[in-house]
Chains A and B, each alone.
Chain A
Amino acid sequence: MQQLRLTRTRRVALIGLAGALAVSLSACAESKREEGAGGGSGGTMIFGAAGNPKLFDPIFNDEGETFRITRQIFDTLIQNKPGTADLEPSLAEKWEPANDGKTWTFSLKQGVKFSDGTPFDATAVCFNFDRWYNMKGAAAQSQMIYYADVFGGFAKNESDDYSDPVYKSCEAKDPATAVVNLNKAKGAFPAAFTLPSFAMQSPTALKQYKSDEVTQSGDSFTYSEYANKHPVGTGPFKFDSWDQGKGEIALSKNDTSPTQTAKLDKLIFKVIPDENARKQALKAGDIQGYDYPAPADYGLLRNEGEQVLVRPPFNVLYMGINQSGPAGEKLKDVKVRQALAYGINREQFVKSKLPEGAEVATEFVPKTISGYTDEVTKYPYNPEKAKQLLQEAGATNLTLKFYYPTEVTRPYMPNPADVFTSMSEDLKAIGIKIEPVAKPWNGGYKDDVQKFGHQDLHLLGWTGDYNDAGNFVGTFFGRKKPEFGFDNPQLFQALSAADASPAGDAHAKAYQEVNKQIMDYLPAIPISYGPPAIVVGPKVKGLVASPLTDERFNTVTVN
């Protein structure tokens, strides 16, 4: 014990030593602060993101948190008019299909440069299209989710899952005219050109930082320096840094952007995965906005002066019916499926369980989509009629296995257990026995209902990617799937014909007919369109909530 006691002199010596250490530490490292950084007067906005971005090369990405950032850095040829799903010019001033729909001619905006000084012209456009098409390696191709969805396949497919490529070639007729040739017409165009994955990137930077090097080592992928550190586009902001430790992605105003000049000097995305933590950060003024506030918080947030902006709905929640499930024989009878539709009280459900702005779904595409029609067969709540239909079908003693997911919220389904309870109570009231099966979303649910088809009924939904009905109904009912277990060649044919119909009125009309057909056949029951919201602080102005979560921050001010 005695040895541990410090004499006064030793104590003084120790304090001195600590001081000296601090001084020497200060001497060994230099502050890297920029003096007088900023300089502009547009200010800084900090937005709370719910998750890490994956990388910054949008072609290899398919999730929202990454797109939120790349949308500010890059422009697409065509874009969505703010706040809507309508198309408007972006890098292309005009776009025209040939009569057969196999050729798209883009008239490009002139005098545009990427933020690294590379000119944006028809050569750059073709460079991008060719890059996607010629991408090599199973790892790289497997991450080009949207490309594979829209363009089917590559110059050399690395997996049997890809089909024949839709893309054929691209010619730069003159600097301001790019012509994209396709092997077949596709209904997804022109709307699919607005997909953030198909943004135009600087050929110089792509080459310099070896953008196509996607390597797979063990059970993971690593991406190029381009994708991590040097994304270069024409957008209103340019990429500054990604600080992994702090979870901050910093962008600054791109002064050379000809398309949309940003009002902010700096735009920072701060990753805060916990919803409650995002709310706290907004309250404290640490951030000036965040996405997907919980519907239960709308009122509270508004009382505190925050602005809750509800997006126009661009999704659909449905109750799936499996015609090859345990009770498949009965469910093959359209009368039984109609009975289910008449038997559930969707009005009541939407009013009592869903956030503001939600609406009853009458078909499988939301109202903002071209191809939506009001002239479909409707199934208003009518339990008496439902019982009668069941009787006529000889299905009075029906037991159905009803699957619903847990551990998940989706924009179209804030609380799956709530949806399940409402639906199953209604179905019990018309005399159907319900066997509930709850499974974790990423723990067997999607496998069970989409791969194995163990269910009779299930809950699922979809958020649209672009303004094309095929993105909804084509995805759901375009072919035979374990999820719905029906084989209806007539419907499959109609969907494929609608997809191939030329853009414009004829295209919309074709899908209107398909939607009518679907609501007569009733392979599933559309329940609701449920809009997600985005919240910003009281001083934020100019942010337009988009049905496609395509919010662009160039119009935003924070003062």
Chain B
Amino acid sequence: MLRFLVRRLLQAIPTLLILSILVFAWLRSLPGGPAAALLGDKATPEKIANLNHVLGLDQPVVIQYFKFLGRALTGDFGASLVSTQPVMSEIGTFLPATIELGISAMIVAVLIGIPAGYISARYHGGAADNVIIVLTLIGVAVPVFFLGYMMQDLLAGPLGLPSQGRQAAGLDATAITNFAVLDGIMTSEWDAVWDAIRHLILPAFALATIPLAVITRITRASVLEVLNEDFIRTAHSKGLTEPVVRRRHVLRNGLLPVVTTIGLQTGALLGGAVLTERVFNFRGLGFLLAEGIERRDYPRLQALLLFGALVYVLVNMLVDVSYGIIDPRVRVR
């Protein structure tokens, strides 16, 4: 197992290196640059040239890259040009928000998706099934930002929910881990917990739509398959009551592929989070990324994109490792 892990980690190194080159080259190929964005309205060609010189952006890209690599290897990703704060500390500050939002969205998707998929399968071909199928289609098709704006306009008011932000402005909440809900629990500031949950509801639902639709459909398909299995008929015939059959045999077996899907969708959530965070002014990594792109914030974008890639590599590795645990043949190969 250890050898397997080490090998996988070593394999990740060239992946990240190639990615860092691509990210670096891509950013510098974008028209405009940080100097123009920093200087804004008053930017003159001379001022831009001077700033580019001071920042070293007038050097050949290859030299810039190796300087960047040298610093990155020591953990120095520089400071954001927008906020002037060190990029790594920015990631530390904003990551909890994204995790919190992602987990909430996943909870929404699972809590609604699995029962909905199950109901859809059980009443296969009926009205409930058709309605659920149509709703999941809409869920996949509607862009997150559009849904977000709709929710803000139509739901926030009537439901009395905040339409943006992570916390009520001016709320005196103690920050310890930067996970707003957790911090509130830890400090027994229950109003802050409630406030954080209220702020999570709309963005979590908006972000949940796609995984929700996918989980519903997978559950439905998988449960349908299980319902036709022999052991279900056997269970019925040995006299088990309907609820027991459903709980012990149908759901348990039907949920296996769903668990895999949940894992895969967690990665996809990162992409949706960028838009959701922007629309709801929910200050997480996606929010940082959007702001960084607008302002051509090279240091921040380099660090964020590489961080995202690293997370993907690690998640993939975890998936592989879990396969290895489930299926020893993978390890042998």
> Bound pair: A and B?
yes
Hey, which bits of chain A sit against chain B, CB under 8 A?
Answer: 1, 4-5, 22, 25-26, 28-34, 37, 44, 46, 51-52, 54-55, 62-63, 138-139, 142, 145, 149, 159, 161, 216-223, 227-228, 243-248, 250, 266, 268, 270, 272-274, 276-277, 280-281, 283-284, 286-287, 410, 439-444, 446-447, 450-451, 462-463, 482
Residues of A within 8 A of B83 (CB): 52, 54, 244
Q: How far is the CB of B195 from chain A (nearest CB, A)?
A: 11
Task: Tell me the residues in window 36-90 of chain B with beta carbons closer than 8 Å to chain A beta carbons.
Answer: 36-37, 39-47, 49-51, 53-57, 64, 67-68, 71, 76, 78-86, 90
Q: Mark B166-196, 1 if CB is under 8 A from A, else 0.
A: 1111101011101000110111110000000
Residues of A within 8 A of B71 (CB): 217-218
Give CA–CA (A4, B251) in the complex, Å.
13
Using A145-B42, A145-B47, A451-B45 as known contacts, say yes or no to A222 and B79 having CB atoms under 8 A apart.
yes
**Option from A26, A220, A245, A274 in Cβ contact (under 8 Å) with B278:** A274
Instruction: Please name 11 further chain A to chain B contacts, defined as beta carbons within 8 Å, in addition to the given A218-B76, A284-B157, sorted by A numbering.
Output: A62-B42, A142-B54, A216-B55, A217-B71, A217-B79, A245-B283, A270-B169, A280-B153, A280-B163, A281-B281, A442-B32
Using A277-B281, A443-B30 as known contacts, say yes or no to A272 and B40 having CB atoms under 8 A apart.
no
Return the chain B residue nearest A286 by Cβ: B169
- Asked whether A245 lies within 8 Å of B94 as measured between CB atoms, the reply is yes
Residues of B within 8 A of A32 (CB): 174, 187
Q: How far is the CB of A259 from chain B (nearest CB, A)?
A: 26
- Asked whether B34 lies within 8 Å of A276 as measured between CB atoms, the reply is no
Using A31-B187, A216-B54 as known contacts, say yes or no to A244 and B90 having CB atoms under 8 A apart.
yes
Return the chain A residue nearest B174 by Cβ: A32
**Option from A25, A277, A410 in Cβ contact (under 8 Å) with B280:** A277
Using A217-B76, A442-B37, A443-B30 as known contacts, say yes or no to A25 and B185 having CB atoms under 8 A apart.
yes
Using A161-B46, A284-B156, A442-B32 as known contacts, say yes or no to A221 and B84 having CB atoms under 8 A apart.
yes
Main secondary structure of the interface of A (DSSP, over half): mixed
- Asked whether A142 lies within 8 Å of B84 as measured between CB atoms, the reply is no
- Asked whether B64 lies within 8 Å of A276 as measured between CB atoms, the reply is no
Residues of B within 8 A of A273 (CB): 278, 281, 290-291
- Asked whether A33 lies within 8 Å of B174 as measured between CB atoms, the reply is yes
Residues of A within 8 A of B279 (CB): 274, 276-277
Q: How far is the CB of B222 from chain A (nearest CB, A)?
A: 15
Residues of A within 8 A of B39 (CB): 62, 145
Return the chain A residue nearest B183 by Cβ: A29
- Report, nearest first, the 9 A-B pairs whose CB atoms are least far apart: A443-B31, A442-B32, A451-B45, A29-B186, A31-B187, A218-B78, A220-B78, A220-B79, A280-B163
Q: How far is the CB of B71 from chain A (nearest CB, A)?
A: 5
Q: What are 22 residue pairs bridging A and B, where the CB atoms are less than 8 Å apart in the complex?
A: A25-B182, A25-B185, A32-B187, A34-B172, A37-B172, A54-B82, A142-B51, A161-B46, A218-B78, A219-B56, A219-B64, A227-B84, A268-B169, A270-B169, A272-B164, A272-B165, A276-B279, A280-B156, A284-B157, A284-B162, A442-B37, A442-B296
* B121 contacts the other chain (CB 8 A): no
Interface centre among A63, A245, A443 (most CB of B within 10 A): A245
Using A245-B178, A277-B279 as known contacts, say yes or no to A450 and B157 having CB atoms under 8 A apart.
no
- Asked whether A281 lies within 8 Å of B186 as measured between CB atoms, the reply is no
Using A62-B39, A281-B164 as known contacts, say yes or no to A219 and B299 having CB atoms under 8 A apart.
yes
Residues of B within 8 A of A139 (CB): 54
**Option from B162, B163, B283, B290 in Cβ contact (under 8 Å) with A246:** B283
- Asked whether B172 lies within 8 Å of A218 as measured between CB atoms, the reply is no
- Asked whether B56 lies within 8 Å of A218 as measured between CB atoms, the reply is yes
Hey, which bits of chain B sit against chain A, CB under 8 A?
Answer: 30-34, 36-37, 39-47, 49-51, 53-57, 64, 67-68, 71, 76, 78-86, 90, 93-94, 96-97, 149, 152-153, 156-157, 162-170, 172, 174-176, 178, 182-183, 185-189, 248, 252-253, 278-281, 283, 290-291, 296, 298-299
Q: How far is the CB of A237 from chain B (nearest CB, A)?
A: 15
Give CA–CA (A55, B153) in the complex, Å.
34
Interface centre among B57, B185, B296 (most CB of A within 10 A): B185
Q: How far is the CB of B86 from chain A (nearest CB, A)?
A: 7
- Asked whether A244 lies within 8 Å of B36 as measured between CB atoms, the reply is no
Q: How far is the CB of B24 from chain A (nearest CB, A)?
A: 11
Return the chain A residue nearest B178 by Cβ: A245
- Asked whether A221 lies within 8 Å of B79 as measured between CB atoms, the reply is yes
- Asked whether A161 lies within 8 Å of B50 as measured between CB atoms, the reply is yes
Give CA–CA (A139, B51) in the complex, Å.
8
**Option from B33, B56, B67, B86 in Cβ contact (under 8 Å) with A222:** B86
- Asked whether B97 lies within 8 Å of A62 as measured between CB atoms, the reply is no
Residues of B within 8 A of A274 (CB): 278-279, 281
